[in-house]
Amino acid sequence: MTHLGILAITTALLTLPAFASPKNDVVEFIDSQQDDFSRVAQRIWELAEVGYQETESSELLQEQLRIAGFVIEKGVANIPTAFIASFGSGKPIIGILAEFDALPGLSQKALTTRKTRVEGAAGHGCGHHLFGTASTAAAIAVQQWIKASDISGTIRLYGTPAEEGGAGKVYMVRDGLFNDVNGVLAWHPGSTNDASPGQSLANISAKFRFRGLSAHAAGAPDQGRSSLDGVEAMNYMVNLMREHVDFRSRIHYVITRGGEAPNVVPDFAEVYYYCRHPSVEVAQMNFTRIVKAAEGAAIGTGTSVDYEIIHGLYNMLPNNYLGRLLFQNLNDVGGYTYTAKEQSFAEEIQKTLAEPKPIGSQEKVQPWQPRPGAGSTDVADVSWIVPTAQFNAATYVPGTPAHSWQAVAAGGTSIGTKGMLVAAKTLALTAVDLFTDPTHLEKAKEELLAAQGPNFKYVPLLGDRKPPLDYRK
């Protein structure tokens, strides 16, 4: 594999002076290494490896951390691309999350028009190449401050695969890998700089597999039992169900297998469902009804059905106390301005957007304002175990939706890089706060315990299933 930025980073580590002003020097360290970390992010952008297949992307981040002096534990939670990089000893233990998986079918060049890089390949439509790299940069900056300042405590970088539908973090939580952590920090690429506490939806996903009897569709249809009929009957009943569920529910599906030829009654068909709601309990209730619809469809069509849970995610439990610290540091770091070239790129991209936002918003930090969530994330499961806060940094052109070719394009340019550096600095500065003032973590823990309630017990929604390492194959 290609090793990027290691020589320069290593040289800097060997010559770094003692930290006299922690926050200034942490920021200066990240600035001094920005070209090298930018090359790392760009290489992961080019690799665009999907969930549980991020072999080179994971190894590239591990190599940066290993050279810096972290101890690497590879293949945690029975996931080959998951890892934990640790430095230091004792408490507090501060975790930083790093994602690096891409999305299928979003291959795109760093251009202002839709232009595929590799036909049928993946692309970083959620900016996880920037996510993983910024988190790694922050962890190394904090590690260097710990070394130079003789600070006690442990900084951990969690390499978390397959956030996009694979629930990598849930398996890590289930294995107890966060049980001794005092606080967790994360971020996410976006179109604004925003540390407001955001909710997310609990999400249960499953593949329903119908089996019937094949026969000639014209010559002997009476001898066939169509598995596709089972899928369509299930979908019809679930669509009727939408009127009779809580209005905040979100249910969506794709038919992943529907038969091979029109003149053959299909004996196998598959439909892939997501079932979401702001609360775990309602998501579970809705999912039970979806299962009943599948069973009824099988009875009505003379087929059989079984299902496989693919992933299950809790709703996000944002820690407002930690979030306020992130907000303060994000404001200290601030946004960034476009060069003339970046301005031109942004203007052209905005012509392709359905709802463009004013260019210039990337220079600002959005006001603190709790916001509802529409998506789902496996960070949520972490947030129920340890005080967790995350924020957004502007790596897309304003108004760009995630999971779009426009997001992929911006992520391959200096616009993405500038947002990544904002994120790395904000993470590092907040980690320094947590190491230097123990009352922050005490107050964050108090908030978590109050939110959990007295009888809380974490039970993963995906049960005891093994990580679905082939779910993108």
Is the domain of 97 the same as that of 23? yes
Q: Flag whether 77 is in a domain.
A: yes
Is the domain of 220 the same as that of 269? yes
> How many domains does the chain fold into?
2
Q: Residue 20 pLDDT > 60, yes or no?
A: no
Is the domain of 289 the same as that of 406? no
Is the domain of 106 the same as that of 190? yes
Domain boundary among 313, 341, 356: 313
Is the domain of 195 the same as that of 206? no
Q: What is the CATH number of the domain that holds 250?
A: 3.30.70.360
pLDDT tens column, 311-370:
999 999 999 999 999 999 999 999 999 999 999 999 999 999 999 998 999 999 999 998
Q: Flag whether 231 is in a domain.
A: yes
Domain boundary among 259, 281, 313: 313
CB atoms within 10 A of CB 463: 9
Q: Flag whether 466 is in a domain.
A: no
pLDDT value of position 4: 52
Q: Domain span at residue 371?
A: 6-199+316-452
pLDDT tens column, 438-447:
999 999 999 9
Q: Flag whether 15 is in a domain.
A: yes
Mean pLDDT of 305-313: 95
pLDDT tens column, 32-70:
999 999 999 999 999 999 999 999 999 999 999 999 999
Is the domain of 153 the same as that of 24? yes
Q: Flag whether 470 is in a domain.
A: no
Q: Flag whether 463 is in a domain.
A: no
Mean pLDDT of 283-298: 98
Q: At how many degrees (to 10) do helices 414-436 and 34-47 cross?
A: 120
pLDDT tens column, 70-88:
999 999 999 999 999 999 9
Q: What is the CATH number of the domain that holds 12?
A: 3.40.630.10
Is the domain of 448 the same as that of 364? yes
pLDDT value of position 163: 96
Is the domain of 385 the same as that of 294? no
Q: Flag whether 407 is in a domain.
A: yes
Q: Residue 9 pLDDT > 70, yes or no?
A: no
Q: Flag whether 129 is in a domain.
A: yes
What percent of the chain lies above the pLDDT cut of 90? 90
Domain boundary among 275, 294, 313: 313
Is the domain of 174 the same as that of 211? no
Is the domain of 355 the same as that of 279? no
Is the domain of 375 the same as that of 340? yes
Give the pair of three-digit tokens for residue 200: 């997310």
Is the domain of 192 the same as that of 226? no
pLDDT tens column, 186-210:
999 999 999 999 889 999 999 999 9
pLDDT tens column, 232-279:
999 999 999 999 999 999 999 999 999 999 999 999 999 999 999 999
pLDDT tens column, 131-161:
999 999 999 999 999 999 888 999 999 999 9
Q: Residue 26 pLDDT > 60, yes or no?
A: yes
Q: Average pLDDT over the chain, rounded to whole?
A: 94
